[in-house]
């Protein structure tokens, strides 16, 4: 039988090992963030980027909000670390040329056409659990808390990222996502592109309400930081006017 002193030493040693594991996990968690491909957008997110094993909600405000393009652009950046992009296309609206314009190799895209919503949620869970899926993207309209939690556990197991496109009504619902971002169109200063505002509605451990403006170049479909307008210069008055 071990003495009380030796048992105390064992407990103390184990406690030290647990603390070491926690510190290592925290360090890994801090360094594991992946870039969205746009530094200002990274800064909106918890940890300064996209954490593997998490869900991101992209809320679209109205038709043509650009949420799908922003999410697809992020998916393109996530592929830089390897793996595949799984697109769950219940509405059958996925447009391969848009993915190609973002330099996504279509051979690395797995396109799923579920027959109905229940099949779509099943496909989401299976794809998120797959270690080969760098990102899973698609529209998720209705989602209760129990299923949402299952999807969160699935992506934690798989280690990829879920890019969930949803309507703006979802902002009133509870979230199991790492971050919830609202994408809305705003007036553009160019004729060849669209300007969007991406606002952080919720993020674990970070300040909400911050936003960044980005532009989509229509001819290439590329995403970049929107340039700020210079302040207008008042017209000169003629001498003696």
Spatial CA neighbour of 69 closest among 212, 214, 228: 214
222 pLDDT more than 70? no
- According to the model, what pLDDT value does residue 218 have? 54
> Nearest-5° angle of CA 153, CA 61, CA 38?
65
Distance of CA 204 to the CA centre of its chain: 13
124 — pLDDT class (breaks 50, 70, 90): very high
The DSSP secondary-structure symbol of 15 reads: H
- According to the model, what pLDDT value does residue 114 have? 94
Give per-residue pLDDT as tens, 168-190.
Answer: 777 767 778 999 999 988 876 65
* Residue bearing the bigger pLDDT, 54 or 169: 54
Percent of the chain with pLDDT over 70: 73
| CATH level 2 (architecture), domain 33-225 | 3-Layer(aba) Sandwich (3.40)
User: DSSP states of 100-117 as a string?
Assistant: HHTT--GGGEEEE--SSH
* Residue bearing the bigger pLDDT, 7 or 22: 7
The mean pLDDT of the chain is 80
* Residue bearing the bigger pLDDT, 191 or 94: 94
Strand pairing category for 179-186 and 54-60: parallel
Please report which helix (H) or strand (E) contains residue 138, including its range. Answer: strand 133-139
> Nearest-5° angle of CA 84, CA 88, CA 91?
145
Domain boundaries, the chain: 33-225
Mean pLDDT over residues 145-163, rounded? 96
- According to the model, what pLDDT value does residue 26 have? 39
40 pLDDT more than 90? no
pTM: 0.77
């Amino acid at each position: 039988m071990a003495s009380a002193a030796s048992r105390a030493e064992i407990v103390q040693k184990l406690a030290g090992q647990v603390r070491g594991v926690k510190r290592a996990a925290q360090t890994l968690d801090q360094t594991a963030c992946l870039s969205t491909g746009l530094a200002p957008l990274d800064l909106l997110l918890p940890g300064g980027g996209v954490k593997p094993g998490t869900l991101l909600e992209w809320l679209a405000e109205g038709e043509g909000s650009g949420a799908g393009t922003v999410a697809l652009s992020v998916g393109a950046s996530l592929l830089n670390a390897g793996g595949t992009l799984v697109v769950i296309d219940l509405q059958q609206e996925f447009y391969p040329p848009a993915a190609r314009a973002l330099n996504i190799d279509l051979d690395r895209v797995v396109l799923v056409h579920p027959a109905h919503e229940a099949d779509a949620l099943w496909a989401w869970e299976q794809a998120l659990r797959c270690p080969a899926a760098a990102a899973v993207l698609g529209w998720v309209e209705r989602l209760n808390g129990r299923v949402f939690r299952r999807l969160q556990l699935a992506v934690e197991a798989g280690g990829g990222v879920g890019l969930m496109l949803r309507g703006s009504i979802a902002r009133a619902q509870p979230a199991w996502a790492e971050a919830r971002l609202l994408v809305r169109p705003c007036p553009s200063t160019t004729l060849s592109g669209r300007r969007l505002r991406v606002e952080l509605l919720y993020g674990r451990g970070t300040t909400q309400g911050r936003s960044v403006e980005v532009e989509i170049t229509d001819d290439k479909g590329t995403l970049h930081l929107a340039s700020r307008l210079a302040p207008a210069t008042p017209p000169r008055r003629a001498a003696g006017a």
